[in-house]
Amino acid sequence: LDFGTVRRRQSPRLKWLDYHNLLGIVTLAWVLVVGITGVINTLETPIIDTWRTNELADLVAGNEAAFLAGPRASLDDAVREAVRLAPDMELQFVAFPGSGFSTGAHYAVFLHGDTPLTENIITPVLIHAGTSEVTGLRQMPWYTKALSLSRPLHFGDYGGLLLKLVWLVLDLVTIIVLASGLYLWLTKRESPRRRTTMSHASGAGSA
């Protein structure tokens, strides 16, 4: 059969078999993307915990011995200095000195991307709370970037309403593929039983 052929005049099972194969091939790439990103999203907790205990802890530990002797510098100056180093990023939140995400002498300025696709990618910057000087900047490792990029790809929330509607249509098509596959499997199991029943009935009639 040519690609896209649907045998509408044949039996319902053949017609749904053609629909199942056609829709499955058309949506295969999208289903793979959604499936893989869904698996990554389910691993969010261990991924974030690994980042905190390794990358973030290493950045903080390297400056833990710093001591803030005088008054704190301007928080606005610290944020501006962090944003200057990463002009394509925006402020997400600031951890003050002594908090669990910083040291006793630093502001930990957390920045994120300024586009819908990168808004979940975080970069921490340590700023000395007394001098507003940058002490450390740590890019996110590949596994946290994979997690951050998987969210908008999985939910389709990086392209506005139009992309959400496209995701909705593809979701409905995928449901049709699953439902038709279940229908084909059930009817395939029923066919041998039906042939066996008819065979027994025919044999009984001949006797």
Chain segment 161-206, per-residue pLDDT in tens: 888 888 889 899 888 888 888 888 888 766 555 555 555 555 555 5
The CA distance from 18 to 13, in Å, is 9
Question: Looking up tokens 């951050």, which residue turns up?
Answer: 148
- Confidence band for 63, pLDDT divided at 50, 70 and 90: low
pLDDT for 46 beyond 80: yes
The CA distance from 74 to 107, in Å, is 10
The ranges assigned to domains in the chain are: 1-42+159-207
The CA distance from 79 to 8, in Å, is 64
- The rounded percent of the chain whose pLDDT value lies above 70 is 85
Determine the 3-state secondary structure of 120 from DSSP: coil
Burial of 83 (0-12, 13-18, 19+ CB in 10 A): middle
Average pLDDT estimate for 136-143: 82
CB 126 within 8 A of CB 103: yes
- pLDDT for 151 equals 83
Q: Give the number of other CB atoms < 10 A from CB of residue 148.
A: 21
